[in-house]
Amino acid sequence: MQNKGLIKFFAILFALVSIYQLSFTYLASNVKSEAKAFAGDNPDKELKYLDSIGKVEVLNLGFTSFTYDEVKNKQINKGLDLEGGINVILQISIKDVLKGLANNSKNPVFNKSLADATANLEGNKSYLDKFFEAFDANSNGTTKLASPEIFANRNLQGEGGIAFEMTDAQAQKIIRKKVDESIESAYKVLRERIDKFGVTQPNIQKLGATGRILVELPGAKDVDRIKKLLGGKAQLEFWETYKIEEIGNFLVSANEALKKTEIKKTETKTVAKDSLNALLTDTKDSTEAKKGNNPLFDKIVMQGGGPILGYFAPKDTATINSYLKRPEIRVLLGADQHYAKFVWSKPTTISGATAKDPKAKDLEVVELYALKGNRDNIPAMNGGLVTDAKDTFDQMGKPAVSMQMNSQGAKVWEELTGRAYNQKSYIAIVLDNIVYSAPGVTSGPIAGGRSEITGSFDVAETKDLANVLNAGKLPASADIIQSTVVGPSLGQAAIDAGTISSVLGFLLVCLWMVFYYGKAGWYANLALLLNLLFLFGIMASFGFVLTLPGIAGIVLTLGTAVDANIIIFERAKEELRDGKSLAEAVAASYGWHGAMRSIIDANVTHVLTGAILFIFGTGPIKGFALTLLIGIITSMFTSIFIARIFIDRNIAGKGDLTFSTNITKNWFTNFHFDFIKIKKFTYIFSSIVVVVSLISIFFVNGLDQGVDFVGGRTFQVKFEKPVDATVVSDELSAAFGTPVEAKILGDDDQLKITTKYKIQEDGVAVDEEVNQKLYKALAKYYPNTTYEKFTNTYDGKTVGVLQASKVGASISEDIKTNSYWAVLGAMAAIFLYLMISFRKWQYSLGAIAAVAHDVIFVLGIYSLCYKFMPFHMEMDQHFIAAILTVIGYSMNDTVIVFDRIREFIIGNRKGSFEDIVNASINTTLSRTLNTSLMMIIVLLTMFIFGGESIRGFIFAMLVGIIVGTYSSLFIATPVLVDTISKDDKHTIEDKHNKA
């Protein structure tokens, strides 16, 4: 081997760099252990401890030193499935951005195009593209994007803006640029909010040009608070309000009108005696109010006053909203109230105790307000004039938020408060369409632009509110379309399972290599150790994230890392049997016409499938693909160069190297099985399997499509004792009013709960509603657990929601589309590569036939078995990752056989074309079975010890590797034989037999 010294130099340098980089991970782990020991079971105390030593020096190398924060930033980042925390994908509303750019245009073509783009949005299609398509269709050349009433408005005119004379194509370029700027603005706002929240090692990134932003918050525990922080638009507004006496007559008229249309379903009860009830008694006999015959007033649970029209139960807000939006009800508003805007406060808890019933439960209520709206729906003052906000405490010692406005804001605020003082009215402070408070003004106009927001806040809420006000408002609404919440205890369990499976897999591979290849196996194992060091070193150096599927990728790398050595060792054994010396055999096996061509072809197919998986995958699947790709590169280097150094050193020294043991030296030698002869039987068997699989997939069982493909919410819930999944499913279905699936996950006290309840709706309120419904429906199983403890994550959590995920309808369609393209793209890429490499399409056809057979086989097994298997067999992103991995490994086996066929065709082997093909399969059988056995060993290890969450993923690969080995022997090569033309066969045979 040439340049051996250079290779040694780079190997040693690479090893030292890897050890250096990994030392930060080791040190950070030690510091965290010290913090945990110091804090006991108090996570807040632990976090404060780590924050306090952030700038403290924890590593001194003499020539340089590092603080804890610097060490922490250099460690291997763990994904949420290992660390615990919250992962969300936010969709910035492009529709809102367009409406803002068009200055809320009333143009019918513009608004119809927005509606059509929303209705016709397809998987993997951007909203902006669909809008432009819809606008072209709706305008039909009659209206231009650059129309003054659409995008050529005052806001978008000027340099870099849209001029009246522009064509639609020209306007589209500028609109795209402006939309991109809005997404960038949203990204910066979210980044600032997250930075101020104080989460360790947050990750936020834009996902291409989709308007989607990925946010990962390792260690975050307060689920509802985080979602509010991320999803809140921070649209701060100040509105003048109507007083109850000003709007009361309308409410009375509305209640009377509703009596004629609403069916009386409510029980008889007494309406709260508030000012509205007083108005009622003025107009009609008050006894009627006690008959449960007042659709609007019967919903009131407590009297209002001032700007508060009444207190209502949160569950009734949707009903009240539907009443107040009806045209026949709105028309009852007075002429000066025509644009009144009805909004709610944030929920608050009031005491239900009375003199008659002192033990009554507390009530959760929301307040109803009527804001003084206008034709343009513009508030009296907006939050853009606020320059600074701080969390503080009011005069009563309650949490509040103080605000400072700019000069323009100070002037408007003085006018607004002066009007409120003179009219004895109120000013509602509204954030994201929710009233936080509506104070009156008792001491005259407020000058200077400083004010305070008070209300029923806790300290965390005032911190978050000040945070979002300072960070600024989002340019458009940001809906959470996908989310995953993982508890830290679940993450630790995943780490333990991954560590056990990795160590066991490594030991089993090492033992087999020594058992089968003797001393050469020891050298392969040393190269394997270096391979793992390099792999982790690269991940630490570039800040890559380690996930649970990533650990699976590492374990798979253990199997593939020895694959190149197996190919080389098998080739060396052949060369030795042909009479060559040890040095000559090694040199030949490492040559291009020895093992190198096969190794390159096999690994290129791996790289192609891994790259496609990385491009189309998201989250943990990207981590799996990345680990696989790094593993391929490092294993190639260590197998080809590092192992060769050890081998060459042995040859130069003792020269006692062996590539087998006394037990295995004659295995698979002189093997002459006629694989082509039995092709009719294998064709029949495979055809039956394919037909049965397709019938099951399309006509009988179908596939168990997970939420990744159909949308929905999934909760992994741990109970205090074993439960009946069927009973829990029925209880939850009744509570949600829609089918809810509950399946046992591992033990009988743990369920995987899936629901599609309101999955078409986005927003923090919907997510919280689902969490509340889940808790209330299951509360009887948790007598000592509060909603917060049930829903949120914390260290040491053993019951309640351990993991939760949501996939919105829009992103599930994208995931499904990406999955189809990933599988088809992998097959197409491999087809083209093999056609270029082997220069005959028949090789590509044989390989693709085998791959198609394998994919259908695995799909068929999942379709036939998912209803009764003791583990989950869902179609999700993990399953697609498994399918692509199967494609790569199936190609690996097939390519080795094809390379040997090509070698024999170029050489002088005698016999018919079928004889040459049979000889190719038989002479590579040891390599094929050895590699497959390695993969089966590590996959079985992961299946048994790797944890419940990836068991279905591993099972797919396990089945795929087994059937892939079969198809490379009994499908790919027979198809090649049957599709090669008779003329080509005769040419090959004539050449060989003459020779």
Residue 634: pLDDT band with limits 50, 70, 90: confident
R_g of the chain, CA atoms, integer Å: 34
Position 468 scores a pLDDT of 67
What single string gives the DSSP state of each residue in 169-186? HHHHHHHHHHHHHHHHHH
pTM of the model: 0.68
Q: Report the distance separating Cα 510 and Cα 156, nearest Å.
A: 67
Structure tokens that stand for 236 in this block: 């701060």
Structure tokens that stand for 902 in this block: 């090509």
pLDDT tens digits, 556-598: 777 677 778 888 888 888 888 888 888 888 888 888 777 788 7
pLDDT tens digits, 477-533: 777 777 777 766 665 676 777 778 778 878 888 888 888 888 888 888 888 888 888
pLDDT tens digits, 617-632: 766 677 778 888 888 8
Neighbours of 637 (CB within 10 A): 19
Most confident of 347-361, 412-426, 533-547, 608-622: 412-426
Structure tokens that stand for 80 in this block: 């949420």
pLDDT tens digits, 173-204: 888 888 888 888 887 777 777 766 655 567 77
Neighbours of 681 (CB within 10 A): 10
Residue 266: pLDDT band with limits 50, 70, 90: very low
Percent of the chain predicted with pLDDT > 90? 6
3-state secondary structure 901-926: HHHHHHCCCCCCHHHHHHHHHHHCHH
Residue 853, classed as helix, strand or coil, is helix
> What average pLDDT does this structure show over 114-135?
82
Q: Report the distance separating Cα 183 and Cα 128, nearest Å.
A: 13
Higher pLDDT, 405 or 948: 405
**Residue 286 pLDDT > 50:** no
Question: What are the two backbone dihedrals, phi and then psi, of residue 355, each rounded to the nearest 5 degrees?
Answer: -60, -35
Q: How would you class 709 by CB atoms within 10 Å of its CB: exposed for 0-12, middle for 13-18, buried for 19 or more?
A: buried
Are 780 and 473 within 8 A, CB to CB? no
Neighbours of 624 (CB within 10 A): 31
pLDDT tens digits, 95-120: 888 888 888 888 899 999 998 888 87
pLDDT tens digits, 306-338: 899 999 988 888 889 889 998 898 988 888 888
Instruction: Give the helix/strand (H/E) hosting 64.
Output: none
**Residue 552 pLDDT > 80:** no
Q: How would you class 621 by CB atoms within 10 Å of its CB: exposed for 0-12, middle for 13-18, buried for 19 or more?
A: buried
Structure tokens that stand for 15 in this block: 């090893």
Question: Taken in order 107, 112, 115, 118, is the CA torsion positive or negative?
Answer: negative
Position 542 scores a pLDDT of 80
Position 455 scores a pLDDT of 67
pLDDT tens digits, 692-729: 999 999 999 888 887 778 788 888 888 988 888 889 99
What single string gives the DSSP state of each residue in 308-338? B-EEE-GGGHHHHHHHHH-HHHHTTS-GGGT
Q: Report the distance separating Cα 885 and Cα 863, nearest Å.
A: 19
Name all contacts of 781-789 with Cβ < 8 Å and 24+ positions apart.
Answer: 781/719, 781/720, 781/723, 782/719, 782/720
Contacts of 878 (CB under 8 A, 6+ apart): 549, 620, 621, 950, 952, 953
Location of structure tokens 């088809």: 824
**Residue 672 pLDDT > 70:** yes
What single string gives the DSSP state of each residue in 576-633? HHTT--HHHHHHHHTSIIIIIHHHHHHHHHHHHHHHHHHHH--THHHHHHHHHHHHHH
pLDDT tens digits, 757-792: 888 776 677 888 888 889 999 988 988 888 888 887
Are 241 and 426 within 8 A, CB to CB? yes
Residue 73, classed as helix, strand or coil, is helix
Position 369 scores a pLDDT of 94
Contacts of 9 (CB under 8 A, 6+ apart): none
| Closest alpha carbon to 68 in 19, 114, 100, 30 | 30
**Residue 16 pLDDT > 60:** yes
pLDDT tens digits, 884-938: 778 877 777 788 888 888 888 876 677 788 888 888 888 888 888 887 887 888 8
Position 768 scores a pLDDT of 83
The region of weakest confidence among 263-267, 325-329, 341-345 is: 263-267
Q: How would you class 683 by CB atoms within 10 Å of its CB: exposed for 0-12, middle for 13-18, buried for 19 or more?
A: middle
pLDDT tens digits, 956-976: 888 888 998 898 889 988 998
Position 690 scores a pLDDT of 93
Position 268 scores a pLDDT of 40
Edge-first strand listing for the sheet containing 203-207: 203-207, 212-218, 85-92, 478-486, 800-807, 712-718, 747-755, 740-745
Position 271 scores a pLDDT of 44
Most confident of 23-37, 66-80, 414-428: 414-428
Position 615 scores a pLDDT of 81
**Residue 283 pLDDT > 70:** no
Mean pLDDT of the chain: 80
Structure tokens that stand for 474 in this block: 């989002």
β-strands 77-78, 545-546 pairing: parallel
Half-sphere exposure of 185 (CA within 13 A, CB side): 16
Position 506 scores a pLDDT of 80
pLDDT tens digits, 785-832: 888 888 877 666 778 888 888 887 777 777 778 788 888 888 888 888
Bridge partners of 752, per DSSP, are: 716, 743
Residue 688: pLDDT band with limits 50, 70, 90: very high
Q: Report the distance separating Cα 893 and Cα 814, nearest Å.
A: 32
